[in-house]
Amino acid sequence: MELKKLSKLPTNLNSGAVERAVKSFVADSHTLETHSDPTGLYNQTLECIASACIMNQDGRQFWMAEHNGEVYAYALAHVSKDVDNQLCYWITQSWVHKDVRGHKIVKIWKDQLVAEGKRLLCRHIVIPSSRGSKGYLRFLGQGWHKYVELLKVDL
């Protein structure tokens, strides 16, 4: 199973495969604990995927791995000038199917995303998380550290 950066959705995907993956991401995202709107997150995610693969908006990236017509992993990313006034590769969402979580392939996919950030001359990779950082830092490995916490108020 290969993680690929897509400019259009594959025609061999089963009907509703992307939507099922996004629904699983939303279910795993602790929306109740973070006071987020699960419907809004779902729609935002589909819009970001459409921006990258249908409208081909510059700078938007959609990465996906599929198996038998189903989405087994995806990531949304983009580049912006943020931290230290330097280019940052933002991985704003990533999701892995429960059947492959914990497998070595996931580290290979992570390394692909890091390589893309380097290829794009970014000085930092930033990953926001609604689930805390401890588990992710163990997975990501040496050199990764907590950078900032985001606080919000619902108006």
**Structure confidence at residue 95 (pLDDT):** 92
**Structure confidence at residue 89 (pLDDT):** 94
Each residue of 38-65: pLDDT tens digit?
A: 999 999 999 999 999 888 777 899 999 9
Cβ pair 79, 90 in contact under 8 A: yes
**Structure confidence at residue 96 (pLDDT):** 93
Residues of the chain with pLDDT under 70: 151, 153
**Structure confidence at residue 104 (pLDDT):** 93
| Cβ burial, residue 15 (10 Å; 0-12/13-18/19+) | exposed
**Structure confidence at residue 12 (pLDDT):** 93
In terms of pTM, does the model score above 0.85?
Answer: yes
Please list the helix, strand and coil fractions of the chain in percent, rounded to the nearest 5, in that order.
Answer: 35, 25, 45
**Structure confidence at residue 65 (pLDDT):** 97
